[in-house]
């Protein structure tokens, strides 16, 4: 009897940061992976390393990558077409690309160009790629080629926590929160579940310029769980979705923030 094909996850930003960590976790679950990366990303041995992880799993998946600037519509189109050409299906989209959000100007000094860049890279690109992939998921599901497709967007507490020196980031992140709700509403009838992983303060290591500041705040009780978040915390939340543990939920925000969202008195 022929073995069923591994499920396929498309992961934006899949060769760096949180996206890479999520990719590793899914590879170890036997998923096939299609990783979006940019010219700026160092692809290096990422694909080979992830393939080695996948090969350790019985009936493990395959790993492929495609270069794309997600702010360019032609690149997005080619990315989806390439994933379908390689694997013939997309069972899960993981929006993990950080996309143009690391701005640090005071709100009163923010330029229109900087604001447009942040919204384009951090919101519009994600919305339009999600729309494109969702359309393919509808087609594949109606043809009986995939079951229980899922969309996961890795967002941050900046979706609701004000930071006046990162105004464009906050506004883009807030938009991603509404994107999750809208696509969940639109796609539910097609059996496509949509989730948001809302991430708190994740450790980038002691070399991070903000590390000392947040280290003290965390120790003083900024979050009920008094430790830094780790990339693995985020990856395990995505695995819960990928493993079908939340299949009667959609539009759900999964807070991976040490309890920051509790807004304690």
Answer yes or no: is 116 within a domain.
Answer: yes
- Provide mean pLDDT across the span 241-250: 97
| Burial of 265 (C-beta count, 10 Å sphere; 0-12/13-18/19+) | exposed
Domain count, the chain: 1
Answer yes or no: is 135 within a domain.
Answer: yes
Range with the poorest average pLDDT among 10-14, 134-138, 185-189, 205-209 = 205-209
Residue 122 DSSP code: I
- Domain ranges, residue 251: 8-257
pLDDT at residue 168 above 70? yes
Answer yes or no: is 233 within a domain.
Answer: yes
Answer yes or no: is 263 within a domain.
Answer: no
Calculate the average pLDDT of the chain.
Answer: 91
Range with the poorest average pLDDT among 85-94, 101-110, 156-165 = 101-110
pLDDT at residue 236 above 90? yes
pLDDT, one tens digit per residue, over 131-140 is 999 999 999 9
Q: What pLDDT sits at residue 23? A: 96
Answer yes or no: is 37 within a domain.
Answer: yes
**Helix, strand or coil, per DSSP, at residue 117:** helix
**Helix, strand or coil, per DSSP, at residue 94:** strand
Q: What pLDDT sits at residue 218? A: 86
pLDDT at residue 122 above 50? yes
Q: Enter the pTM of the model.
A: 0.93
Q: Are 63 and 49 in contact, with CB atoms under 8 Å apart? A: no
- Provide mean pLDDT across the span 120-130: 96
Q: What pLDDT sits at residue 104? A: 65
Q: What pLDDT sits at residue 101? A: 43
Answer yes or no: is 265 within a domain.
Answer: no
Answer yes or no: is 264 within a domain.
Answer: no
The CATH number linked to 150 is: 3.40.50.720
Answer yes or no: is 222 within a domain.
Answer: yes
């Amino acid at each position: 009897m022929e073995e069923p094909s591994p499920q396929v996850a498309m992961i934006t930003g899949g060769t760096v940061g949180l996206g890479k960590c999520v990719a590793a976790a899914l590879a170890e679950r036997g998923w096939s992976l299609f990783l979006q990366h940019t010219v700026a990303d160092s692809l290096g041995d990422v694909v080979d390393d992830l393939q080695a992880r996948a090969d350790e799993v019985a009936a493990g998946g395959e790993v492929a990558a495609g270069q794309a600037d997600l702010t360019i519509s032609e690149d997005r189109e080619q990315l989806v077409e390439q994933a379908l050409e390689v694997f013939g299906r997309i069972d899960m989209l993981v929006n993990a690309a950080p996309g143009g959000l690391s701005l640090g100007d005071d709100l009163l000094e923010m330029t229109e160009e900087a604001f447009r860049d942040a919204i384009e890279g951090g919101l519009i690109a994600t919305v339009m790629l999600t729309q494109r992939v969702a359309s393919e998921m509808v087609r594949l599901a109606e043809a009986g080629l995939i079951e229980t497709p899922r969309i996961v967007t890795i967002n941050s507490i900046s979706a609701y926590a004000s930071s006046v020196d990162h105004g464009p980031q906050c506004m883009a992140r807030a938009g991603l929160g509404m994107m999750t709700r809208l696509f969940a509403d639109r796609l539910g009838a097609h059996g496509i579940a949509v989730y948001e992983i809302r991430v708190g303060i994740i450790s980038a290591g002691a070399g991070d310029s903000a590390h000392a500041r947040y280290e003290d705040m965390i120790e003083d009780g900024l979050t009920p769980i008094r430790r830094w978040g780790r990339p693995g915390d985020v990856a395990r939340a995505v695995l819960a979705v990928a493993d079908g543990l939340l299949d009667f939920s959609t539009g759900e925000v999964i807070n991976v923030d040490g309890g920051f969202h509790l807004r304690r008195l």
